[in-house]
């Protein structure tokens, strides 16, 4: 691998395919919500909560993949391409096993009513349980897809992600339209479960696309070759388990947030699910910039170019904030138009959603800075420090959320102010860690 170029244009070349791929996924979620909101409030709430449970469990695989991405970038920075390929081969096997384990666990928990018992509304539970049952079959596919994405991102060649995410998203949107609402006499209406089946089929085809594009993206790669030795797997685990714990804790806590909001009311839960999807517009940009940060921090440290890190991080934060402002300006410029898409004939819900968007706008700006600071720590291999920061922020998040939903229930837009406390804590913890500069020292990974 050639030396990493830190030119702003090259940073964008790495980040944009990831961000565009995430943007495509945003439109998938938006399409899901559009069709589900036309079915019923219970449909969008039950499917939304099931999707969050699926995402929470997937964080184990996402954390694992981030660990592999960091190692691949480090090995390529150290001019060890075969070690990077061995890392990818090993990641595929580990992720297949992890996906099968997650599928079995989710089916067991769902069948025994562990999740369903958390609902106040029987109508929402009636959608949640079968929806999660279908989605859980996607774990082996999704975890494998994450292993491929980690290899592409670790190599700082991210254009294959556009093909993979594009295939998944376009097929998902088409199948949503066909399955949820039906298609004449050919396909009967399947409601919320149609959205679950659409997502499962789309993930399968996304994995097929990843396998096919691998030959073009990495012609030197062959499946025949060495796997990581046991010592290297232990080093990966030491790096990955804090990421798995951190991401699982983050999204798990966020999932708990929605279960708590459900006890406040159905309208509040619907507003929150739609607000979550609007928040994804910020995630679109931050995902690309965050993954780029991990790759560049790990790669530059591997090349011994720590002196360039400050300038690279400042550039990435600037791009991140600019992109977030571009995609979320509607939260303050025309929030009523956005609300009208989902709350036709419901002025109370629409007004609550508008007020929530205004709260989210300030939260995503905080996110634009803090996400890069935290990704810098992770990219350097200091994943345990990142986990400690996350743990403290989550504890505060849980306490404030409980106070505003159970102890003294508040309007939904007030409840969403918990994001201010969360991101401020992440930012302060990350700043304190980064200013010590020990994170810039090469770690053994």
DSSP 3-state of 155 = coil
Select from 385, 384, 390, 375 the least CA-distant residue to 426: 390
Rg (CA), the chain: 21
Ordered DSSP codes for 69-86: HHHHHHHHHTT-HHHHHH
Stretches where the chain sits below pLDDT 70 are 1-2, 25, 182, 184-185, 187, 437-445
The C-alpha atoms of residue 365 and residue 189 are separated, in whole angstroms, by 40
Task: Specify if 400 maps to a domain.
Answer: yes
Task: Quote the tokens at residue 335.
Answer: 């929030």
Regarding pTM above 0.85, the answer is no
Task: Specify if 337 maps to a domain.
Answer: yes
Q: In terms of C-beta density within 10 A (0-12 exposed, 13-18 middle, 19 or more buried), how is residue 407 classed?
A: exposed
* pLDDT value of residue 1: 43
How far is Cα of residue 350 from the mean position of the Cα atoms in its chain?
Answer: 27
Task: Specify if 70 maps to a domain.
Answer: yes
How far is Cα of residue 290 from the mean position of the Cα atoms in its chain?
Answer: 11
State pLDDT tens for residues 281-312.
898 899 899 989 999 998 898 888 888 999 99
State which residues form the domain around 79. 8-440
The C-alpha atoms of residue 215 and residue 53 are separated, in whole angstroms, by 34
State pLDDT tens for residues 151-185.
999 998 888 988 998 898 889 888 988 888 767 66
Task: Specify if 3 maps to a domain.
Answer: no
Task: Specify if 110 maps to a domain.
Answer: yes
* Total tally of structural domains belonging to the chain: 1
* Torsion angle of the four alpha carbons 73, 76, 81, 86, in this order, in degrees rounded to the nearest 10: -30
* pLDDT value of residue 186: 72
């Amino acid at each position: 691998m050639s030396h990493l170029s830190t030119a702003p244009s090259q940073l964008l070349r790495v980040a944009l395919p990831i961000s565009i791929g995430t943007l495509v996924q945003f439109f998938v979620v938006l399409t899901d919500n559009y069709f589900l909101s036309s079915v019923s409030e219970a449909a969008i709430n039950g499917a939304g909560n099931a999707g969050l449970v699926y995402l929470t469990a997937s964080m184990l695989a996402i954390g694992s993949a981030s660990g592999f991405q960091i190692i691949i970038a480090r090995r390529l920075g150290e001019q060890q391409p075969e070690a990077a390929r061995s890392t990818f081969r090993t990641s595929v096997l580990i992720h297949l096993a992890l996906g099968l384990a997650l599928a079995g666990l989710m089916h067991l928990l769902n069948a025994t009513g562990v999740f369903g018992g958390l609902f106040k509304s029987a109508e929402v539970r009636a959608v949640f349980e079968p929806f999660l049952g279908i989605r859980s079959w996607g774990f082996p596919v999704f975890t494998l897809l994450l292993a491929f994405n980690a290899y592409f991102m670790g190599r700082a060649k991210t254009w294959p992600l556009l093909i993979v995410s594009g295939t998944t998203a376009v097929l998902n949107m088409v199948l949503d339209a066909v399955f949820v609402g039906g298609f004449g006499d050919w396909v009967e209406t399947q409601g919320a479960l149609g959205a679950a089946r659409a997502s499962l089929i789309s993930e399968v085809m996304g994995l097929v696309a990843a396998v096919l594009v691998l030959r073009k993206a990495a012609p030197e790669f062959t499946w025949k070759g060495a796997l990581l030795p046991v010592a290297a797997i232990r080093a990966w685990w030491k790096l990955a388990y804090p990421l798995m714990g951190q991401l699982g804790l983050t999204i798990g806590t966020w999932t708990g947030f929605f279960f708590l909001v459900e006890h406040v009311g159905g309208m509040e839960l619907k507003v929150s699910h739609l607000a979550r999807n609007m928040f994804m517009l910020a995630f679109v940009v931050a995902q690309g910039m965050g993954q780029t940060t991990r790759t560049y921090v790990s790669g530059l440290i591997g090349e011994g170019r720590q002196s360039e890190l400050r300038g690279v991080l400042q550039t990435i934060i600037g791009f991140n904030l600019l992109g977030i402002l571009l995609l979320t300006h509607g939260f303050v410029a025309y929030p009523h138009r956005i609300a009208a898409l989902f709350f036709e004939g419901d002025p109370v819900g629409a007004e609550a959603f508008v007020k929530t968007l205004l709260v989210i706008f300030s939260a995503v700006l905080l996110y634009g800075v803090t996400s890069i600071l935290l990704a810098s720590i992770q990219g350097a291999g200091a994943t345990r420090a990142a986990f400690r920061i996350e743990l403290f922020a989550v504890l505060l998040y849980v306490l404030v959320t409980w106070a505003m939903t159970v102890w003294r229930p508040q309007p939904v837009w007030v409840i969403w102010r918990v994001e201010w406390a969360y991101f401020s804590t992440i930012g302060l913890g990350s700043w304190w860690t980064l200013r010590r500069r020990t994170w810039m020292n090469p770690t053994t990974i």
